[in-house]
Amino acid sequence: MVRTLLPIALVVGVGFAPVCARAQSQLSLKSVSVDLPPGDDMFPNGPGADAINNNCLACHSADMVLNQPALSKAQWEVQVNLMRTAYKAPIDPKDAGAIVDYLVSIKGIK
Ligand code: HEC
């Protein structure tokens, strides 16, 4: 029995060896380096900057907010409320006023 199985095992083993070798060469990983454009990771300093940095960077970047069009105070209030109600942002209610004032100061309609 061993005498007949051994050649079969050898043939199967040798037969699969190239397949394994090919699979290995396809899986080779190489490192790449990618240059991403620089972004502001925090909101610029100013009154209320701490409040916005503490509450508004968990889900998106500061740039994401800074690149929005300028809005009125009422519109920024709607935006901050939207983050809380629609997206469940855990914004401290006592920080909301400071955040709105900060947004009006840097991205308010003049
Ligand atoms: C819980 C996660 C979360 C937090 C925290 C959060 N946001 Fe957002 N924000 C989102 C999501 C989700 C979107 C929608 C992204 C999209 O439209 O692709 C968004 C979009 C925005 C937009 C773009 C306008 C819009 O409605 O799409 C602004 C401006 C914004 N957020 C401001 C803020 C401010 C200011 C804070 C802090 C008070 C904040 N976000 C905190 C999740 C969050």
Summarize pLDDT for 36-81 with one digit per residue, the tens: 777 668 999 999 999 999 999 999 999 999 999 999 999 999 999 9
d(CA 56, CA 82): 12
Using the predicted structure, report yes or no on whether residue 101 has a pLDDT greater than 60: yes
Instruction: Establish whether residue 59 lines the binding site of ligand 1, counting it when its CB lies within 6 angstroms of any ligand atom.
Output: yes
- Which pLDDT value is given to residue 33? 94
- Which pLDDT value is given to residue 59? 93
Using the predicted structure, report yes or no on whether residue 20 has a pLDDT greater than 60: no
User: Residue 69: exposed, middle, or buried by beta-carbon count in 10 A (0-12, 13-18, 19+)?
Assistant: exposed
Cβ neighbours of residue 38 closer than 8 Å, sequence gap 6 or more: none
Q: Which atom of ligand 1 is nearest to the CA of 99?
A: 38
CB-CB contact of 69 with 95 (8 Å): no
Q: How far is the CA of 56 from the centre of ligand 1 (A)?
A: 8
Q: How confident is the model at residue 93 (pLDDT cuts 50, 70, 90)?
A: confident
Summarize pLDDT for 22-39 with one digit per residue, the tens: 555 688 899 999 987 776
- Which pLDDT value is given to residue 27? 87
Backbone dihedral region for residue 42 (phi beyond 0: left; psi -120 to 50: alpha; all else: beta): beta
Q: Which atom of ligand 1 is nearest to the CA of 58?
A: 5
Instruction: Establish whether residue 97 lines the binding site of ligand 1, counting it when its CB lies within 6 angstroms of any ligand atom.
Output: no
Backbone dihedral region for residue 35 (phi beyond 0: left; psi -120 to 50: alpha; all else: beta): beta
